[in-house]
């Protein structure tokens, strides 16, 4: 059985999620089923509203309950969100096991390793469960052992940023 293609968008720059969403749109346009699960961003992202309008071709899930990003939560809130995040990872494993989609995007999943919510080994186990499903992972920091699993890694770097008026 062939393994699905694994792409990683990483780096300090802006646009990792946008690049993943662009790939999702390309896949959906080609008739593929796409599932996106977002982590660590809270539930109120502007780009999420756009993606939700693309259903049913692209399905978006966020298991976190807080409106705040993970880094802004109290320790108690982080523990609760940690349980919600694990539910999201369990759902990702279910999606991979059932072949529910052709492309699974785990947005900001690398941050789960960086924030020690999961281990690199847990993420690698999820990657290895992909069978024929392609995956895209995003996040700022990338561990070598995860990088070695990838077919394609793009490091996003922002050279200049000016807010649009």
CA nearest neighbour of 20 among 121, 110, 89: 110
Q: Give me the pLDDT at residue 165, please.
A: 61
User: What range defines the domain where residue 132 resides?
Assistant: 6-155
Residue 163 belongs to some domain of the structure: no
Enumerate long-range contacts of 120-124, CB under 8 Å, 24 or more apart.
120/145, 120/146, 122/89, 124/149
Residue 165 belongs to some domain of the structure: no
Residue 164 belongs to some domain of the structure: no
Phi and psi of 140, rounded to 5°? -75, -50
Residue 28 belongs to some domain of the structure: yes
Q: What is the dihedral of CA 35, 37, 41, 46, to 10 degrees?
A: 20
Residue 140 belongs to some domain of the structure: yes
- DSSP 8-class letter at 108: T
Q: Give me the pLDDT at residue 47, please.
A: 61
Query: What is the domain-level CATH number for residue 89?
Result: 3.40.50.300
CA 36 to CA 161: how far, in whole Å? 26
Residue 162 belongs to some domain of the structure: no
Residue 104 belongs to some domain of the structure: yes
**Global pTM?**
0.90
Residue 136 belongs to some domain of the structure: yes
pLDDT tens column, 114-137: 989 999 999 999 999 999 999 999
Alpha helices in the chain (DSSP H): 16-29, 46-52, 75-98, 110-114, 120-128, 144-147
DSSP states of 17-52 as a string? HHHHHHHHHHHHHTT--EEEEE-SS-S--HHHHHHH
Q: Are 132 and 62 in contact (CB under 8 A)?
A: no
Q: Give me the pLDDT at residue 118, please.
A: 94
Say what percent of the chain tops pLDDT 70: 93
Domain total of the chain: 1
């Amino acid at each position: 059985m062939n393994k699905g293609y694994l792409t990683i968008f990483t780096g300090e720059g802006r646009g990792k999620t946008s690049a993943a969403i662009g790939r999702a749109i390309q896949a959906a346009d080609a008739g593929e089923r796409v599932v996106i699960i977002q982590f660590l961003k809270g539930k109120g992202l502007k780009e999420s509203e756009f993606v939700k309008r693309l259903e049913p071709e692209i399905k978006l899930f966020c298991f976190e309950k807080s409106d705040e990003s993970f880094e802004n939560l109290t320790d108690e809130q982080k523990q609760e969100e940690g349980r919600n995040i694990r539910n999201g990872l369990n759902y990702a494993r279910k999606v991979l096991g059932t072949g529910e989609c052709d492309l699974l995007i785990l947005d900001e999943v690398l941050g789960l390793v960086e924030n020690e919510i999961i281990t690199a080994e847990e993420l690698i186990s999820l990657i290895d469960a992909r069978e024929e499903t392609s995956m895209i992972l995003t996040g700022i920091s990338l561990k070598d052992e995860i990088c070695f699993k990838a077919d394609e890694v793009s490091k996003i770097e922002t050279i200049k940023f000016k807010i649009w008026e």
